[in-house]
Amino acid sequence: MGPLKNKLCLVTGGSKGIGLGISKKLAQMGGRVVLLSRSDQVHLAKEQLPQLNSSEPHLSFNLDVSNPSQVEQLFKDLKEQELRASVLVNAAGIVHNQLLTHQKSSSIQDIININLLGTTYMCKSMIKQLVRNKEEGNIINLSSITGIFGNPGNAVYSSTKAGIIGLTKSLAKEWGSKNIRVNCIAPGYINTDMTSGLPAEYKEKIMESVPLKRWGTVEDVAQAAEYLTLANYANGVVLQVDGGLSL
């Protein structure tokens, strides 16, 4: 049945892109996946997941991770249904490609609320559940290489991704003694809806700067998530999946 048999896996941003790709991987590993997204598309996305155990169907819920009350209610609802999550993947995120001086305050706030605060709220509720039940757990946060090196036109986005790295490392130190592992993935340029709007010449320029001479795929990131899910001694890791771009 796979290494995640009888494991409940929560994935934010699960309706498309990297979140959905990781969800498919977790399902292939035998996990029971709970897809979470603001978009109603999440319920259709659930039907794309491999179903290895018909007695434990995958689930999907609408959730705004930037709303702490909604996050807390999610975990209360899971508790009432006697569902305990073992794995959390925080993949919800947005980006607005603009110079900071041109960016509206509402846009800045949205990026911070969803990318950084949303990840923080989910980690908080997940860890509280694990500690209360005296269970080990695994949290994987999605950062970005822009959170390490910065990127022009992405000042706010990059700052949230840098914050996620700091959050990940701090939580790994705080809760490692409780067998709660917290790691993050820092993807490079990946072919998703988020990057589909970039000019073709810019995409070509990026590809030429990557030693592997190609853009990354959602599957590349999903494989990294698979590794961190199974690597029992990995804690506080920032796994760069960028084809060598950051070398």
What are the tens digits of pLDDT across the range 146-172? 999 999 999 999 999 999 999 999 999
At 53, is the pLDDT very low, low, confident or very high (cuts 50, 70, 90)? confident
Instruction: DSSP letter for 243, please.
Output: T
User: Using CA atoms, how far apart are residues 94 and 113, in angstroms rounded to an integer?
Assistant: 10
Kindly list the structural domains of the chain, giving each domain's residue range(s) and its CATH number in brackets, ordered by start: 8-239 (3.40.50.720)
Is the pLDDT higher at 128 or at 200?
128
Distance of CA 13 to the CA centre of its chain: 7
At 109, is the pLDDT very low, low, confident or very high (cuts 50, 70, 90)? very high
User: Using CA atoms, how far apart are residues 161 and 70, in angstroms rounded to an integer?
Assistant: 22
In this prediction, residue 54 carries a pLDDT of 74
pTM beyond 0.85: the answer is yes
Identify each DSSP E strand in the chain by its residue range: 8-12, 32-37, 59-62, 85-90, 137-142, 180-187, 238-241
CA-nearest of 39, 143, 181, 165 to 16 is: 39
Q: Which residues are bridge partners to 241 per DSSP?
A: 187
pLDDT over threshold 80, residue 196: no
Out of 121, 157, 189, 233, which one is annotated catalytic? 157
**Is 157 known to be catalytic?**
yes
User: Using CA atoms, how far apart are residues 173 and 154, in angstroms rounded to an integer?
Assistant: 29
User: Using CA atoms, how far apart are residues 234 and 76, in angstroms rounded to an integer?
Assistant: 29
At 38, is the pLDDT very low, low, confident or very high (cuts 50, 70, 90)? very high
In this prediction, residue 201 carries a pLDDT of 86
Paired tokens of 121: 């709220």
